[in-house]
Amino acid sequence: IDVMARQQVMANIMTANFSQKRITEKLKKEIGHTRSSRKGLYNKFLCLNSGSESVTVAARIADLNAKKQTDPGAKYHGHKIMMLSLKGSFHGRTERPAMASDSSAKSYQKLASFRAIHLQTVEINNIESLRAAFADAVKNKIYFEMMLMEPVMGEGNPGVGVERAFYDEARRLTREHGTLLMMDSIQAGLRTQGVLSIVDYPGFESAEAPDMETFSKAVNAGQYPLSILAMDDRTASLYETGLYGNTMTTNPRALDVACEVLDLVTPELRQNIRDRGAEFVTKFKGLQKEFPGIVTDATGTGLLCALHLNAEGYKVVGVEGIETWLRHHGIGVIHGGKNALRFTPHFRITSAEVDMVITKLREALKRGPVYK
Protein backbone atom coordinates (compact mmCIF):
# COMPACT_ATOMS: atom_id res chain seq x y z
CA ILE A 1 0.00 0.00 0.00
CA ASP A 2 2.85 2.40 0.83
CA VAL A 3 4.43 1.76 -2.57
CA MET A 4 1.11 2.36 -4.35
CA ALA A 5 0.80 5.71 -2.57
CA ARG A 6 4.33 6.84 -3.43
CA GLN A 7 4.57 9.90 -5.66
CA GLN A 8 5.48 9.19 -9.27
CA VAL A 9 6.61 11.41 -12.14
CA MET A 10 4.40 10.81 -15.19
CA ALA A 11 3.42 7.35 -13.97
CA ASN A 12 0.79 6.96 -16.68
CA ILE A 13 2.93 8.04 -19.63
CA MET A 14 4.78 5.58 -21.84
CA THR A 15 8.34 6.72 -21.27
CA ALA A 16 11.61 5.24 -20.06
CA ASN A 17 11.82 4.71 -16.31
CA PHE A 18 14.31 3.02 -13.98
CA SER A 19 11.46 0.87 -12.64
CA GLN A 20 11.61 -1.04 -15.94
CA LYS A 21 15.23 -2.00 -15.26
CA ARG A 22 14.45 -2.93 -11.65
CA ILE A 23 11.55 -5.25 -12.47
CA THR A 24 13.47 -6.93 -15.30
CA GLU A 25 16.37 -7.69 -12.96
CA LYS A 26 14.08 -9.02 -10.24
CA LEU A 27 12.11 -11.21 -12.65
CA LYS A 28 15.30 -12.72 -14.04
CA LYS A 29 16.51 -13.37 -10.50
CA GLU A 30 13.25 -15.09 -9.52
CA ILE A 31 12.57 -17.08 -12.68
CA GLY A 32 15.06 -19.93 -12.81
CA HIS A 33 16.38 -19.48 -9.26
CA THR A 34 16.13 -23.24 -8.64
CA ARG A 35 18.15 -24.06 -11.77
CA SER A 36 21.87 -24.17 -12.39
CA SER A 37 21.49 -21.96 -15.49
CA ARG A 38 19.05 -19.48 -17.02
CA LYS A 39 19.77 -20.82 -20.51
CA GLY A 40 16.59 -21.03 -22.57
CA LEU A 41 14.52 -19.00 -20.10
CA TYR A 42 12.70 -15.69 -20.55
CA ASN A 43 14.73 -12.58 -21.31
CA LYS A 44 11.98 -10.22 -22.48
CA PHE A 45 8.96 -8.98 -20.54
CA LEU A 46 5.87 -7.01 -21.59
CA CYS A 47 3.97 -5.35 -18.74
CA LEU A 48 0.26 -4.68 -19.12
CA ASN A 49 -2.85 -4.24 -16.99
CA SER A 50 -5.22 -7.14 -16.27
CA GLY A 51 -4.17 -10.76 -16.56
CA SER A 52 -6.50 -11.15 -19.50
CA GLU A 53 -4.60 -8.43 -21.34
CA SER A 54 -1.31 -10.31 -21.07
CA VAL A 55 -2.99 -13.36 -22.61
CA THR A 56 -4.42 -11.08 -25.30
CA VAL A 57 -0.93 -9.94 -26.28
CA ALA A 58 0.35 -13.53 -26.23
CA ALA A 59 -2.49 -14.44 -28.58
CA ARG A 60 -1.65 -11.45 -30.79
CA ILE A 61 1.94 -12.70 -31.13
CA ALA A 62 0.65 -16.20 -31.89
CA ASP A 63 -1.73 -14.71 -34.45
CA LEU A 64 1.15 -12.93 -36.18
CA ASN A 65 3.17 -16.13 -36.21
CA ALA A 66 0.16 -18.09 -37.51
CA LYS A 67 -0.12 -15.78 -40.50
CA LYS A 68 3.52 -16.42 -41.37
CA GLN A 69 3.02 -20.16 -40.95
CA THR A 70 -0.12 -20.25 -43.13
CA ASP A 71 0.71 -17.71 -45.85
CA PRO A 72 0.98 -19.00 -49.45
CA GLY A 73 4.11 -21.10 -49.74
CA ALA A 74 4.40 -21.66 -45.98
CA LYS A 75 4.32 -25.11 -44.35
CA TYR A 76 0.73 -24.83 -43.11
CA HIS A 77 -0.81 -22.92 -46.03
CA GLY A 78 -4.47 -23.88 -46.40
CA HIS A 79 -4.78 -25.15 -42.83
CA LYS A 80 -7.55 -24.07 -40.46
CA ILE A 81 -6.10 -22.06 -37.56
CA MET A 82 -7.20 -23.06 -34.05
CA MET A 83 -6.06 -22.88 -30.44
CA LEU A 84 -5.58 -25.79 -28.05
CA SER A 85 -6.17 -25.74 -24.30
CA LEU A 86 -7.28 -27.98 -21.44
CA LYS A 87 -10.83 -29.03 -20.62
CA GLY A 88 -12.07 -26.68 -17.92
CA SER A 89 -9.42 -24.09 -18.76
CA PHE A 90 -9.77 -20.39 -17.99
CA HIS A 91 -7.58 -17.70 -19.55
CA GLY A 92 -9.61 -14.49 -19.25
CA ARG A 93 -12.79 -12.76 -20.38
CA THR A 94 -11.60 -10.50 -23.19
CA GLU A 95 -12.00 -11.65 -26.80
CA ARG A 96 -9.21 -14.11 -27.60
CA PRO A 97 -8.58 -15.27 -24.01
CA ALA A 98 -12.30 -16.02 -23.72
CA MET A 99 -12.15 -18.04 -26.94
CA ALA A 100 -9.44 -20.17 -25.33
CA SER A 101 -11.36 -20.65 -22.06
CA ASP A 102 -13.29 -23.90 -22.00
CA SER A 103 -14.77 -23.32 -18.53
CA SER A 104 -16.68 -20.21 -19.61
CA ALA A 105 -17.30 -21.11 -23.26
CA LYS A 106 -21.04 -21.72 -22.84
CA SER A 107 -21.54 -18.20 -21.50
CA TYR A 108 -20.39 -16.69 -24.79
CA GLN A 109 -22.39 -18.80 -27.24
CA LYS A 110 -24.91 -15.95 -27.46
CA LEU A 111 -22.25 -13.87 -29.27
CA ALA A 112 -21.96 -14.03 -33.05
CA SER A 113 -18.15 -13.97 -32.91
CA PHE A 114 -18.24 -17.19 -30.87
CA ARG A 115 -20.42 -19.02 -33.40
CA ALA A 116 -17.41 -20.60 -35.07
CA ILE A 117 -15.29 -23.15 -33.22
CA HIS A 118 -11.89 -21.66 -32.40
CA LEU A 119 -10.74 -24.16 -29.79
CA GLN A 120 -9.92 -27.79 -29.22
CA THR A 121 -9.42 -29.14 -25.71
CA VAL A 122 -7.72 -32.11 -24.09
CA GLU A 123 -7.98 -33.61 -20.61
CA ILE A 124 -5.30 -32.45 -18.22
CA ASN A 125 -2.54 -35.06 -17.79
CA ASN A 126 -4.05 -37.36 -20.43
CA ILE A 127 -1.09 -37.88 -22.73
CA GLU A 128 -3.02 -40.06 -25.19
CA SER A 129 -5.68 -37.36 -25.53
CA LEU A 130 -2.93 -34.82 -26.22
CA ARG A 131 -1.27 -36.97 -28.87
CA ALA A 132 -4.64 -37.68 -30.47
CA ALA A 133 -5.38 -33.94 -30.75
CA PHE A 134 -2.18 -33.28 -32.68
CA ALA A 135 -2.66 -36.40 -34.83
CA ASP A 136 -6.19 -35.24 -35.65
CA ALA A 137 -4.84 -31.80 -36.51
CA VAL A 138 -2.42 -33.30 -39.04
CA LYS A 139 -5.16 -35.47 -40.53
CA ASN A 140 -7.67 -32.63 -40.86
CA LYS A 141 -5.24 -29.86 -41.87
CA ILE A 142 -5.54 -27.87 -38.64
CA TYR A 143 -2.75 -25.62 -37.44
CA PHE A 144 -2.64 -24.99 -33.69
CA GLU A 145 -1.27 -21.46 -33.42
CA MET A 146 -0.98 -21.67 -29.65
CA MET A 147 -1.43 -24.17 -26.83
CA LEU A 148 -2.47 -22.58 -23.54
CA MET A 149 -2.13 -24.36 -20.20
CA GLU A 150 -2.47 -23.41 -16.56
CA PRO A 151 0.29 -25.09 -14.52
CA VAL A 152 -2.35 -25.44 -11.81
CA MET A 153 -5.96 -25.01 -12.85
CA GLY A 154 -7.77 -22.14 -11.21
CA GLU A 155 -11.40 -22.30 -12.38
CA GLY A 156 -12.46 -25.50 -14.09
CA ASN A 157 -10.74 -27.94 -11.71
CA PRO A 158 -9.23 -25.80 -8.96
CA GLY A 159 -5.91 -26.93 -7.55
CA VAL A 160 -5.20 -29.73 -10.05
CA GLY A 161 -1.72 -29.36 -11.50
CA VAL A 162 -0.05 -30.35 -14.75
CA GLU A 163 2.22 -33.38 -14.38
CA ARG A 164 5.77 -33.32 -15.71
CA ALA A 165 5.26 -36.14 -18.23
CA PHE A 166 2.21 -34.39 -19.72
CA TYR A 167 4.05 -31.08 -19.87
CA ASP A 168 7.07 -32.65 -21.56
CA GLU A 169 4.87 -34.21 -24.22
CA ALA A 170 3.06 -30.92 -24.79
CA ARG A 171 6.40 -29.17 -25.17
CA ARG A 172 7.63 -31.83 -27.63
CA LEU A 173 4.49 -31.74 -29.75
CA THR A 174 4.26 -27.95 -29.85
CA ARG A 175 7.89 -27.75 -30.96
CA GLU A 176 7.28 -30.40 -33.62
CA HIS A 177 4.19 -28.66 -35.02
CA GLY A 178 5.37 -25.04 -34.83
CA THR A 179 2.84 -24.22 -32.12
CA LEU A 180 3.63 -21.61 -29.48
CA LEU A 181 3.30 -22.94 -25.92
CA MET A 182 2.01 -20.47 -23.34
CA MET A 183 1.72 -21.24 -19.63
CA ASP A 184 -0.89 -19.14 -17.86
CA SER A 185 0.40 -18.58 -14.31
CA ILE A 186 -1.92 -15.66 -13.60
CA GLN A 187 -3.60 -17.56 -10.77
CA ALA A 188 -0.91 -20.15 -10.01
CA GLY A 189 2.16 -17.90 -9.80
CA LEU A 190 3.68 -17.98 -6.27
CA ARG A 191 0.36 -19.21 -4.87
CA THR A 192 0.76 -22.89 -5.70
CA GLN A 193 4.42 -23.80 -5.23
CA GLY A 194 5.91 -20.69 -3.65
CA VAL A 195 7.68 -19.87 -6.92
CA LEU A 196 6.57 -17.55 -9.70
CA SER A 197 7.19 -19.71 -12.78
CA ILE A 198 6.56 -23.32 -13.74
CA VAL A 199 10.26 -23.62 -14.63
CA ASP A 200 10.97 -23.66 -10.87
CA TYR A 201 8.21 -26.07 -9.82
CA PRO A 202 9.44 -29.16 -7.94
CA GLY A 203 10.23 -31.76 -10.60
CA PHE A 204 10.24 -29.19 -13.42
CA GLU A 205 13.69 -27.73 -12.80
CA SER A 206 15.13 -29.60 -15.79
CA ALA A 207 12.11 -29.17 -18.10
CA GLU A 208 12.41 -27.18 -21.30
CA ALA A 209 10.79 -23.80 -20.77
CA PRO A 210 7.58 -22.78 -22.57
CA ASP A 211 7.69 -20.04 -25.19
CA MET A 212 5.68 -17.64 -23.04
CA GLU A 213 4.29 -17.39 -19.53
CA THR A 214 1.87 -14.90 -18.00
CA PHE A 215 1.80 -13.59 -14.42
CA SER A 216 -0.52 -11.15 -12.68
CA LYS A 217 -2.16 -11.76 -9.32
CA ALA A 218 1.09 -12.93 -7.76
CA VAL A 219 2.98 -9.75 -8.57
CA ASN A 220 0.37 -6.99 -8.30
CA ALA A 221 -0.33 -7.38 -4.56
CA GLY A 222 -3.84 -8.48 -5.46
CA GLN A 223 -4.82 -4.84 -5.90
CA TYR A 224 -2.97 -2.90 -8.59
CA PRO A 225 -3.66 -3.58 -12.29
CA LEU A 226 -0.53 -5.28 -13.58
CA SER A 227 0.20 -8.36 -15.64
CA ILE A 228 3.42 -9.58 -17.21
CA LEU A 229 4.03 -11.56 -20.38
CA ALA A 230 7.42 -13.27 -20.23
CA MET A 231 8.97 -14.47 -23.50
CA ASP A 232 12.05 -16.35 -24.58
CA ASP A 233 14.29 -14.76 -27.20
CA ARG A 234 12.74 -16.65 -30.13
CA THR A 235 9.19 -15.62 -29.23
CA ALA A 236 10.22 -12.04 -28.49
CA SER A 237 11.74 -11.83 -31.96
CA LEU A 238 8.27 -12.43 -33.43
CA TYR A 239 6.98 -9.19 -31.93
CA GLU A 240 6.74 -6.26 -34.33
CA THR A 241 6.40 -2.57 -33.54
CA GLY A 242 2.75 -1.56 -33.51
CA LEU A 243 1.46 -5.06 -32.77
CA TYR A 244 0.03 -3.81 -29.48
CA GLY A 245 -0.16 -0.60 -27.48
CA ASN A 246 -1.82 0.77 -24.36
CA THR A 247 -1.56 4.05 -22.47
CA MET A 248 -1.06 2.44 -19.07
CA THR A 249 1.32 -0.36 -20.03
CA THR A 250 4.54 -0.67 -18.03
CA ASN A 251 3.24 1.88 -15.55
CA PRO A 252 6.12 2.75 -13.16
CA ARG A 253 3.80 2.69 -10.15
CA ALA A 254 2.67 -0.82 -11.04
CA LEU A 255 6.26 -1.95 -11.56
CA ASP A 256 7.27 -0.59 -8.16
CA VAL A 257 4.44 -2.61 -6.61
CA ALA A 258 5.71 -5.75 -8.34
CA CYS A 259 9.27 -5.09 -7.18
CA GLU A 260 8.04 -4.72 -3.60
CA VAL A 261 6.08 -7.98 -3.81
CA LEU A 262 9.09 -9.91 -5.10
CA ASP A 263 11.27 -8.41 -2.35
CA LEU A 264 8.83 -9.78 0.23
CA VAL A 265 9.16 -13.36 -1.03
CA THR A 266 11.44 -15.16 1.42
CA PRO A 267 12.32 -18.86 1.79
CA GLU A 268 10.03 -18.93 4.83
CA LEU A 269 7.11 -17.50 2.85
CA ARG A 270 7.64 -20.01 0.03
CA GLN A 271 7.61 -22.85 2.56
CA ASN A 272 4.50 -21.55 4.29
CA ILE A 273 2.62 -21.54 0.98
CA ARG A 274 3.49 -25.20 0.44
CA ASP A 275 2.94 -26.30 4.05
CA ARG A 276 -0.38 -24.56 4.63
CA GLY A 277 -1.60 -25.74 1.24
CA ALA A 278 -0.85 -29.35 2.17
CA GLU A 279 -2.56 -28.76 5.52
CA PHE A 280 -5.70 -27.48 3.79
CA VAL A 281 -5.97 -30.56 1.58
CA THR A 282 -5.36 -32.94 4.50
CA LYS A 283 -8.07 -31.26 6.56
CA PHE A 284 -10.43 -31.10 3.57
CA LYS A 285 -10.05 -34.87 3.25
CA GLY A 286 -10.91 -35.12 6.93
CA LEU A 287 -14.17 -33.32 6.15
CA GLN A 288 -14.74 -35.72 3.27
CA LYS A 289 -14.62 -38.63 5.74
CA GLU A 290 -16.80 -36.73 8.20
CA PHE A 291 -19.42 -35.87 5.56
CA PRO A 292 -19.48 -38.83 3.13
CA GLY A 293 -21.73 -38.28 0.14
CA ILE A 294 -21.70 -34.53 0.75
CA VAL A 295 -18.02 -33.74 0.26
CA THR A 296 -17.09 -35.48 -2.99
CA ASP A 297 -13.44 -34.44 -3.41
CA ALA A 298 -10.60 -32.31 -2.09
CA THR A 299 -8.09 -30.82 -4.51
CA GLY A 300 -5.25 -28.41 -4.11
CA THR A 301 -1.73 -27.34 -4.88
CA GLY A 302 -0.32 -24.90 -2.38
CA LEU A 303 -2.76 -22.15 -1.50
CA LEU A 304 -5.06 -22.79 -4.45
CA CYS A 305 -7.35 -25.47 -3.12
CA ALA A 306 -10.98 -26.54 -3.28
CA LEU A 307 -13.60 -28.55 -1.45
CA HIS A 308 -15.99 -30.20 -3.90
CA LEU A 309 -19.60 -30.76 -2.82
CA ASN A 310 -22.52 -32.85 -3.99
CA ALA A 311 -24.67 -30.50 -6.05
CA GLU A 312 -27.77 -32.50 -5.12
CA GLY A 313 -28.65 -30.63 -1.96
CA TYR A 314 -25.44 -28.73 -1.28
CA LYS A 315 -25.36 -25.89 -3.78
CA VAL A 316 -22.32 -23.67 -3.60
CA VAL A 317 -23.71 -20.72 -5.61
CA GLY A 318 -27.04 -19.11 -4.81
CA VAL A 319 -28.91 -16.80 -2.46
CA GLU A 320 -28.70 -19.40 0.30
CA GLY A 321 -25.70 -21.20 -1.14
CA ILE A 322 -22.81 -22.32 1.02
CA GLU A 323 -20.50 -19.77 -0.61
CA THR A 324 -22.78 -16.93 0.49
CA TRP A 325 -23.15 -18.34 4.01
CA LEU A 326 -19.39 -18.59 4.44
CA ARG A 327 -18.86 -15.03 3.22
CA HIS A 328 -21.47 -13.75 5.67
CA HIS A 329 -19.50 -15.53 8.39
CA GLY A 330 -16.17 -13.97 7.53
CA ILE A 331 -14.56 -16.58 5.26
CA GLY A 332 -13.07 -15.49 1.94
CA VAL A 333 -14.18 -18.01 -0.67
CA ILE A 334 -15.20 -18.13 -4.32
CA HIS A 335 -16.85 -20.90 -6.29
CA GLY A 336 -15.02 -22.95 -8.88
CA GLY A 337 -15.29 -26.21 -10.77
CA LYS A 338 -18.75 -27.75 -11.08
CA ASN A 339 -19.82 -27.22 -7.47
CA ALA A 340 -16.76 -26.44 -5.40
CA LEU A 341 -15.66 -23.97 -2.77
CA ARG A 342 -12.35 -22.48 -3.90
CA PHE A 343 -9.92 -20.97 -1.43
CA THR A 344 -7.06 -18.60 -2.27
CA PRO A 345 -5.93 -17.21 1.11
CA HIS A 346 -3.09 -14.82 1.85
CA PHE A 347 0.42 -16.27 1.70
CA ARG A 348 1.12 -15.80 5.42
CA ILE A 349 -1.92 -17.73 6.57
CA THR A 350 -1.37 -19.62 9.83
CA SER A 351 -2.48 -23.08 10.99
CA ALA A 352 -4.91 -21.37 13.36
CA GLU A 353 -6.52 -19.57 10.42
CA VAL A 354 -6.72 -22.83 8.45
CA ASP A 355 -8.52 -24.38 11.42
CA MET A 356 -10.93 -21.43 11.52
CA VAL A 357 -11.83 -22.07 7.86
CA ILE A 358 -12.37 -25.78 8.59
CA THR A 359 -14.56 -24.96 11.61
CA LYS A 360 -16.79 -22.67 9.54
CA LEU A 361 -16.97 -25.24 6.74
CA ARG A 362 -18.12 -27.84 9.25
CA GLU A 363 -20.80 -25.46 10.53
CA ALA A 364 -21.94 -24.75 6.98
CA LEU A 365 -22.24 -28.42 6.08
CA LYS A 366 -24.09 -29.25 9.30
CA ARG A 367 -26.81 -26.78 8.31
CA GLY A 368 -28.11 -29.40 5.95
CA PRO A 369 -29.21 -29.31 2.30
CA VAL A 370 -29.23 -26.07 0.33
CA TYR A 371 -31.19 -26.02 -2.93
CA LYS A 372 -31.25 -22.37 -4.00
**C-alpha dist (Å) from residue 267 to 34, 63, 330:** 12, 39, 29
Nearest to 57 by CA among 49, 347, 103: 49
Give the model's pLDDT for residue 372. Answer: 56
256 and 275 both lie in a single domain? no
Q: How many residues does the chain have?
A: 372
The three state secondary structure string of 121-177 is EECCCCHHHHHHHHHHHHHCCEEEEEEEECCECCCCCCCCECCHHHHHHHHHHHHHH
Instruction: Dump pLDDT digits (tens) for 257-309.
Output: 999 999 999 999 999 999 999 999 999 999 999 999 999 999 999 999 999 99
Give the model's pLDDT for residue 147. Answer: 98
Range of the domain at 133: 2-263
**C-alpha dist (Å) from residue 312 to 32, 86, 296, 368:** 45, 27, 11, 11
Does the pLDDT at position 42 exceed 90?
A: yes
- The whole-number average pLDDT for the span 333-358 is 96
Residue-averaged pLDDT of the chain: 93
> Helix and strand tally (H, E) in the chain?
11, 11
Asked whether 280 and 300 are in contact (CB, 8 A), the reply is yes
For residue 331, the domain's CATH number is: 3.90.1150.10
Does the pLDDT at position 222 exceed 80?
A: yes
Give the model's pLDDT for residue 371. Answer: 61
Residue 371 domain flag: no
Residue 324 — very low, low, confident or very high, per pLDDT cuts 50/70/90? very high
- The whole-number average pLDDT for the span 148-152 is 98
Query: Exposed, middle or buried, 136 (CB in 10 Å: 0-12/13-18/19+)?
Result: exposed
Residue 303 CA to residue 287 CA, distance in Å, equals: 18
- Where among 243, 263, 283 does a domain terminate? 263
128 and 236 both lie in a single domain? yes
- The whole-number average pLDDT for the span 319-327 is 93
Does the pLDDT at position 110 exceed 90?
A: no
Give the model's pLDDT for residue 289. Answer: 98
280 and 256 both lie in a single domain? no
280 and 248 both lie in a single domain? no
Give the model's pLDDT for residue 198. Answer: 98
235 and 277 both lie in a single domain? no
Using a pLDDT cut of 90, give the percent of the chain over it. 77
For residue 200, the domain's CATH number is: 3.40.640.10
Residue 372 domain flag: no
Does the pLDDT at position 325 exceed 80?
A: yes
- The whole-number average pLDDT for the span 75-85 is 97
256 and 360 both lie in a single domain? no
Nearest to 231 by CA among 30, 42, 7: 42
Domain count across the chain:
2
255 and 325 both lie in a single domain? no
- The whole-number average pLDDT for the span 326-335 is 96
Measure CA 322 to chain center.
Answer: 25
- The whole-number average pLDDT for the span 65-93 is 95
136 and 245 both lie in a single domain? yes
Run of H or E residues at 22: helix 18-30
Does the pLDDT at position 66 exceed 70?
A: yes
Give the model's pLDDT for residue 16. Answer: 75
127 and 188 both lie in a single domain? yes
- Where among 263, 280, 302 does a domain terminate? 263
- Where among 230, 247, 263 does a domain terminate? 263
Residue 129 domain flag: yes
208 and 70 both lie in a single domain? yes
Give the model's pLDDT for residue 367. Answer: 87
Residue 14 — very low, low, confident or very high, per pLDDT cuts 50/70/90? low
Give the model's pLDDT for residue 292. Answer: 95
232 and 327 both lie in a single domain? no
18 and 133 both lie in a single domain? yes
Give the model's pLDDT for residue 223. Answer: 86
State the pTM of this model.
Answer: 0.94
Give the model's pLDDT for residue 11. Answer: 66
